[in-house]
Amino acid sequence: MNRKKIRELIINAGIFAVIMALTFWSVFRGQDLAEILDAVRQMPGVYLAASVFLAVFFVAGEGCMIWYLLRGIGERTTLPRCVSYSFIGFFFSGITPSATGGQPMQLYYMKRDGNSLSAASVVLMTVAVIYKLVLVLIGIGILLFWGAPLRQHLQAYYGLYFLGLSLNIVLVVILTMVMFSQKTIRTCFYRIEYLMVCLRLWRRSEARTEKMEQFLAGYQQTVVFLKGHKRLIGMTVAGTFLQRFSVFVMTYVVYRGLGLSGAAMSDVVLVQAAVYIAVDMLPVPGAQGITEAMYRSVFRDIFVGKYLVVSVCITRGVSFYLMLLVGFAVFCGVRKKFVRIGQ
Give the DSSP H or E segment for 204. Answer: none
pLDDT band, very low/low/confident/very high, at 196 (cuts 50, 70, 90): confident
pLDDT of residue 66: 94
pLDDT of residue 3: 67
Count of H helices and E strands in the chain? 14, 0
pLDDT band, very low/low/confident/very high, at 218 (cuts 50, 70, 90): low
pLDDT band, very low/low/confident/very high, at 299 (cuts 50, 70, 90): very high
* Residue 228: Cβ-neighbour burial (10 angstroms; 0-12, 13-18, 19+): exposed
Specify if 258 maps to a domain: yes
Lowest mean pLDDT, pick from 48-57, 166-175, 182-191, 278-287 = 182-191
How many domains, in total, are found in the chain?
Answer: 1
Vertex 176 angle, CA 202 and 191, to 5°: 20
What pLDDT digit, counting tens, does each position of 93-134 carry? 888 877 777 888 998 999 888 888 888 888 888 888 889 999
Q: What is the mean pLDDT of residues 255-278?
A: 94
Specify if 55 maps to a domain: yes
Q: What is the mean pLDDT of residues 280-291?
A: 79
Specify if 22 maps to a domain: no
pLDDT of residue 28: 63
Specify if 279 maps to a domain: yes
Give the SS3 label for residue 200: coil
Q: What is the mean pLDDT of residues 142-150?
A: 92
Percent of the chain with pLDDT over 90: 40
pLDDT of residue 56: 96
- More confident of the two residues 199 and 64: 64
Specify if 219 maps to a domain: yes
The domain in which residue 300 lies consists of 32-340
- More confident of the two residues 309 and 252: 252
pLDDT of residue 340: 52
pLDDT at 342 over 50: no
pLDDT at 244 over 70: yes
* Residue 97: Cβ-neighbour burial (10 angstroms; 0-12, 13-18, 19+): middle
Specify if 19 maps to a domain: no
Specify if 3 maps to a domain: no
Specify if 204 maps to a domain: yes
pLDDT at 339 over 60: no
The C-alpha atoms of residue 343 and residue 107 are separated, in whole angstroms, by: 16
Give the DSSP H or E segment for 303. Answer: none
What pLDDT digit, counting tens, does each position of 45-77 carry? 999 999 999 999 999 999 999 999 999 888 889
The chain-wide mean pLDDT, for the chain, equals 84
pLDDT band, very low/low/confident/very high, at 242 (cuts 50, 70, 90): very high
Q: Choose the most confident range, by mean pLDDT, from 156-165, 171-180, 288-297.
A: 156-165
Q: What is the mean pLDDT of residues 30-45?
A: 76
DSSP 8-class letter at 244: H
